[in-house]
Chains A and B, each alone.
Chain A
Amino acid sequence: MEFTLLIVAVPLLMFFVLGLAGGKMSHRAAGVAGTLGMAVAAVLSYAAAFRYFFAEGKVDGVFQEIIPISVEWLRFSDKLHIDLGVLLDPISVMMLVVITTVSLMVHVYSLAYMHGEKGFQRYYALLSLFSFSMLGLVVATNIFQMYIFWELVGVSSYSLIGFYYTKPSAVSASKKAFIVTRFADLGFLVGILLLSYYTGTFDFGLLTGDKASLVLESTAGLSFMGVSVASWAMALVFAGGAGKSAMFPLHIWLPDAMEGPTPVSALIHAATMVVAGVYLVARLFPVYYFAAPDVLAMVGYVGAFTALFAAVIAVTQTDIKRVLAFSTISQIAYMMVALSVSGYGGHDGLGYMASMFHLFTHAFFKALLFLGAGSVIHAVHSNEMGDMGSLRKHMPITHITFLIACLSIAGIVPFSGFFSKDEILAAAFHHNQLLFAVLWVVAGLTAFYMFRLYFNIFWGKAKTYDGRHAPHESPLAMSIPLLFLALLTCATGFIPFSQFVSGDGAPFATHTEGNIALAGTLAALAGILAATRLYRKGGERPAKIAASLGGLYRATLRKFYLDEVWLFITKKVIFRYFSDPIAWFDKHVIDGSMNGIGWATQQLSSSVKVFQNGKVQFYAFVFVAGTFVIAIWALFL
């Protein structure tokens, strides 16, 4: 399985080729090269997945971790060292498939979407870098390698979100994304250090193996402020995951990340950055489950709150990409909740499997939604719902594929979202009724806001577009990814996922529980019906309801003023009470001492300067005088 290294290496190679030589290439050559590179990686990951799941991965009915390549990179002490390697287990192989597929679709789609943009080559180079970082992250053999790629993901997303770097809003959005996730990563890093300090290893296999006994034993009896050290470490690690996965209250960067090109949003939201946090928790799941169950419960509540919170906000947003962004937050939070309600091994591990399953299906239908939204934006040159309406006649392919994705995310049989969401609801139902209730409400809300979006774009008031800007169906390079992803959205639900992915590697059987499936479907249908009544024909009714809700509506529209809260905290509290004194100290003490040294040097040199007056005879005089002094000193002292 050594060839899996190529999956990671090819995008890196493409990044260097496109990054260094891209300026010399034509747009078409650069785009095709990047796409071909990603296609190679995708084919290789399909081969890897096939060989892993059907040939080499399973030993005695249990999926094993395979580490085909591992190189020691840095050694800190006898025990502690950072390796770079490739780790294959069910979730990493699944992630390889997801990432390369979505990334390939985005590459193809961008050929048309970004056509003629300035910096086309740079765009493809950055896409390759982004894919490389994410692929490296999922195959990491140890937590430190993961951290390295984690930061790479942050950097490459920063440069992609800020792709239109001449636009101030894009620049500030990219900075926001970078700073917020970087802030969260600080927690991650401290968590890693805590964990490795006590266990003496970074290795995932050692950390999670044998029911996380290593973590349990090495931190036994240690606690800080009434919470065990293991819980502290895992909570800090989760903070990093929450940053990348946009959990409340660190979700604020994600809606702004819309400033990047739309295909990039598809990549960030579907397959890469935001699922990194879920993947991290899944990767360390045994540690959470056995060593820090309290943190795992917290993950569940944070996730449930985020899911509800984001879904409520999504209902009122008018920017279609923003609606999708909040739906992403909500769905990612779904996965987090699923992880937290999971047990370990057998049917108890349903939540874990459901989380990964939802990650898998969500990647495809969310990519489809974003690419469809991109197609719409491409056609009408606007992000606002108000500028759209009755597009179904103009853009049939986009319309149908978008509808499929909406049905899927709403959880309607037989689309993939139904199956994964049903598993999550079932897992939550058996574990924690409160979380189940929240998720059930969120399911209804999801259906509602997705169909609000759908009707507003494709139905609604008959809108007239003047001839020059008449929307038209997107070119083939954009339709093909849409169709392909729609196909995946229809098909992936039928994969018997529990046969491949589970917390402990052993396959188990699942069955659809009729009443839960019914409850979920009912919620979805209720949401869809409500949206149909309100938005299909357009009209004044939604505005009236909004007006009757008054302050609540405005608060939701303003995203519950969370951005303002953060601004207040940073500007009024942190800047004033921390940054300003530090800046003062820096300016007056640090700079002051440096300036003082400079001033002293200047004074000294201007007093010495008279000796360098260019008069040779004066030099000779000084020379003789110096010799005289030395001679006197040698003679008499």
Chain B
Amino acid sequence: MIPMNHYLVVSTILFFVGIYGFIARKNMLAVLISIELVLNAVEINFSVFNRYLYPERLEGMFFSLFGIAISAAETAVAIAIIINVYRNVQNIDIRSIDKLKG
């Protein structure tokens, strides 16, 4: 059996790589990809804690399951928005939509 911390280290790295991408990237799709990384890290954590701490129960796994479904929904909407932005300003640079209001 692999120690639990190993999984946690992997998910932590994944998470903060995602954070870096979210902050540093300019392309909106790249930002979205970073968000997917962060979500993945979270889902790994849910499953790992479930498996190691409460193996007789299933909540963590179902959280991961629902998380996957919700991230699918979120991606769909986000991509729709990005396409709309592209249609309006002809690029998907995140700096082009920093106007508050309007």
Once the chains bind, are B22 and A617 in contact (CB under 8 Å)? yes
Residue pair B98, A621 in contact (C-beta under 8 Å): no
Q: Is the CB of B19 within 8 A of A617?
A: no
CA distance A614 to B97 in the complex (A): 8
Interface residues of B in 1-37 (CB under 8 A from A): 19, 22-24, 31
| A617 CB contacts on chain B under 8 angstroms | 22-24, 31, 94
A615 at interface by CB-CB < 8 Å: yes
> By the criterion CB–CB under 8 Å, are A616 and B94 in contact?
yes
Does A620 make an interface contact (CB < 8 A)? yes
Hey, which chain B residues are within 8 Å of A620, CB to CB? Answer: 19, 22-23
Cβ–Cβ < 8 Å partners of B57 in chain A: none
Contact A614 B100 (CB under 8 A): yes
Q: How far is the CA of A617 from the CA of B35 in the complex (A)?
A: 12
Chain A: CB-nearest residue to B97:
A614
Q: Which of B19, B24, B95 contacts A615 (CB 8 A)?
A: B95
Point out the residues of chain A lying under 8 angstroms from B31, CB to CB.
Answer: 617
A621 near B100: Cβ-Cβ < 8 Å: no
**A47→B24 CA distance, assembly (Å):** 93
Q: Please classify how large the interface on chain B is, using the bins under 10, 10 to 19, 20 to 34, 35 or more.
A: 10 to 19
In the complex, which residues of chain B have a beta carbon less than 8 angstroms from the beta carbon of A624?
Answer: 19, 23
Count of chain A residues near B, Cβ 8 A: 9
Q: How far is the CB of A364 from chain B (nearest CB, A)?
A: 72
Residues of B within 8 A of A606 (CB): none
Report the minimum CB–CB distance from B9 to chain A (whole Å): 17
Interface of B is mostly: helix
Q: In the complex, what distance in Å separates the CA atom of A617 from the CA atom of B23?
A: 5
Within the complex, the shortest CB–CB distance from B97 to chain A, in Å, comes to: 8
- Is A613 located at the chain interface by the 8 A CB criterion? yes
Q: Is A612 an interface residue (CB 8 A)?
A: yes
Check if B99 is an interface residue, CB within 8 A of chain A: yes
* CB-nearest residue of chain A to B95: A615
Output the least CB separation between B57 and chain A (Å): 28
B24 to chain A: which residues have CB within 8 Å?
Answer: 617
> Of all chain A residues, which has the CB nearest B19?
A624
Which single member of A612, A613, A614, A621 contacts B23 (CB below 8 Å)?
A621
**Chain A contact residues: helix, strand, loop or mixed:** helix
CB-based contact A615/B23 at 8 Å: no
Given known pairs A620-B19, A620-B23, the reply for A612 and B94 (CB within 8 Å) is: no
Q: A584-637: which have CB < 8 Å to B?
A: 612-617, 620-621, 624
Chain A residues with CB under 8 Å of B19's CB are 620, 624
Cα(A233)–Cα(B94), bound, Å:
79
Q: Which of chain A's residues has its CB closest to B26's CB?
A: A617
Most chain-B CB neighbours within 10 Å: which of A614, A617, A621? A617
Complex Cα distance, B18 from A624, in Å, reads: 12
Question: When chains A and B are docked, how far (Å) is the Cα of A624 from the Cα of B16?
Answer: 10
Q: Are A612 and B22 in contact (CB under 8 A)?
A: no
A126: min CB distance to chain B, Å: 49
CA distance A614 to B98 in the complex (A): 5
**Complex Cα gap A75–B19 (Å):** 67
Question: What per-residue 1/0 map shows which CB atoms of A201-237 lie under 8 Å from chain B?
Answer: 0000000000000000000000000000000000000
Distance between Cα atoms of A624 and B23 in the complex (Å)? 10
Q: Which of B60-102 contact A (CB under 8 A)?
A: 94-95, 98-100
Q: Among the interface residues B23, B94, B100, which one has the most CB atoms of the partner chain A within 10 A?
A: B23
B50 to chain A, nearest CB (A): 24
Residue of A nearest to B25 (CB): A617
**B22→A615 contact, CB < 8 A:** no
Task: Assess whether B22 is in contact with A613, with CB atoms less than 8 Å apart.
Answer: no
Give the residue name and chain of the B residue nearest to A616 (CB): B94
Chain A's nearest CB lies how many Å from the CB of B76? 19
CB atoms of A614 and B99 under 8 A apart? yes
Q: For the complex formed, measure the closest distance between the CB of A628 and the CB atoms of chain B, giving whole angstroms.
A: 11
* A620, B24: Cα distance in complex, Å: 10
Q: With both chains docked as a complex, state the minimum distance between the C-beta of A311 and any C-beta of chain B, in angstroms.
A: 74
Within 8 A of B (CB), among A151-196: none
B89 CB to closest chain A CB (Å) equals 14
Q: Which residues of B contact A612 (CB under 8 A)?
A: 100
Please report the C-alpha to C-alpha distance between residue A617 and residue B98 in the assembled complex, in whole angstroms.
10
Subset of 21 A-B contacts with CB under 8 Å? A612-B100, A613-B98, A614-B98, A614-B99, A614-B100, A615-B94, A615-B95, A615-B98, A616-B94, A616-B98, A617-B22, A617-B23, A617-B24, A617-B31, A617-B94, A620-B19, A620-B22, A620-B23, A621-B23, A624-B19, A624-B23
Q: Which A-B residue pairs are the 4 nearest by beta carbons?
A: A614-B98, A614-B100, A615-B98, A617-B23
Chain B residues packing against A (C-beta within 8 Å): 19, 22-24, 31, 94-95, 98-100
**Other CB < 8 Å A-B pairs besides A614-B98, A615-B98, 6 of them?**
A613-B98, A616-B98, A617-B94, A620-B19, A620-B23, A624-B23
